[in-house]
């Protein structure tokens, strides 16, 4: 069984880490409830989204270009990928534990999604995010989380990039893909000082969450490789 703190809760969710010939670099984690016949299409959405992760060579910093991605979605001419909605939320800085911040983030994501989540789904969603922020070294090594210094000399932050994929309950050939970035900031100066955060760790946290929901039809391909 997973550990008692619930960070590795497993229900019917699939955590998909794609290492395939379709993707040259992994910039997004994918958390999916899709059936097998939609997984290949979901990989294409992740590949498309990953093209808008920008690299600042001077300090090896990566960040997601929301403006460029939104423009690309608006300019896409096909009918197999459409914009549904975009939501953004700022959680103001306050003394809180990692677990409390994750709870607030999950409340926002539940509202951003067009599917009704069960209690088990909510717990699994919380476990995914909490596991990421209590294992940031691993998330960085996997390619879907990156460290940044903040404008305040006392603070720094991490951007976590993740795609949540859910079947459309009414249309078997369609699914929802929620392209999401979560930027968690705290009164922590050095990158290595983030290692070892626990659910109960209390810091002066703030968070910026951005999420765009796409409606995707089976067979969509990244336009750059179609």
The pTM of the full predicted model, rounded to 2 decimals, is 0.88
pLDDT in tens, 76-107: 999 999 999 999 999 998 999 999 999 999 99
CA torsion 82-125-48-214 (nearest 10°) is 0
More confident residue, 213 or 13: 213
Average pLDDT on 38-53 reads: 96
Q: Determine contact, residues 124/116, Cβ cutoff 8 Å.
A: no
Encoding tokens for residue 180? 């999401």
Provide DSSP, 127-157. HHHHHHHT-HHHHHHHTSEEEEE-SSTT-EE
Rg (CA), the chain: 17
Identify the band that residue 57 occupies on the pLDDT scale cut at 50, 70 and 90: low
Q: Determine contact, residues 182/108, Cβ cutoff 8 Å.
A: no
DSSP element (H, E) containing 44: helix 36-50
Helix (H, G, I), strand (E, B) or coil at 71: helix
CA angle 203, 197, 4 (to 5 degrees): 115
Encoding tokens for residue 123? 């717990």
Query: In the chain, what are the domains?
Result: 14-217 (3.40.198.10)
More confident residue, 21 or 204: 204
Q: What percent of the chain has pLDDT over 90?
A: 78
pLDDT in tens, 117-154: 889 999 999 999 999 999 999 999 999 999 999 888 88
């Amino acid at each position: 069984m997973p550990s008692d703190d619930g960070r590795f809760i497993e229900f019917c969710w699939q955590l998909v880490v794609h290492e395939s010939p379709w993707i040259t670099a992994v910039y997004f984690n994918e958390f999916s409830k899709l059936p097998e016949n939609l997984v290949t299409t979901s990989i294409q959405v992740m590949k498309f989204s990953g093209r808008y992760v920008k690299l600042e060579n001077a300090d090896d910093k990566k960040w997601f270009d929301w403006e460029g991605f939104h423009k690309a979605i608006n300019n896409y001419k096909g009918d197999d990928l459409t914009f549904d909605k975009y939501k953004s939320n700022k959680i103001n800085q306050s003394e809180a534990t990692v677990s409390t911040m994750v709870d607030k983030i999950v409340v926002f994501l539940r509202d951003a999604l067009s599917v009704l989540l069960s209690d088990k789904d909510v717990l699994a969603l919380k476990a995914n995010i909490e596991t990421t922020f209590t294992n940031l070294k691993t998330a960085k090594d996997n390619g879907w989380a990156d460290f940044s210094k903040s404008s305040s000399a006392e603070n720094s932050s991490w951007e976590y990039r993740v795609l949540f994929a859910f079947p459309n309950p009414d249309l078997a050939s369609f699914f929802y893909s929620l392209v999401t970035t979560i930027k968690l900031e705290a009164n922590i100066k050095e990158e290595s000082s983030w290692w070892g955060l626990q659910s109960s760790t209390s810091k002066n946290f703030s968070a910026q969450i951005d999420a765009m929901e796409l409606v995707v039809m089976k067979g969509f391909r990244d336009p750059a490789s179609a």
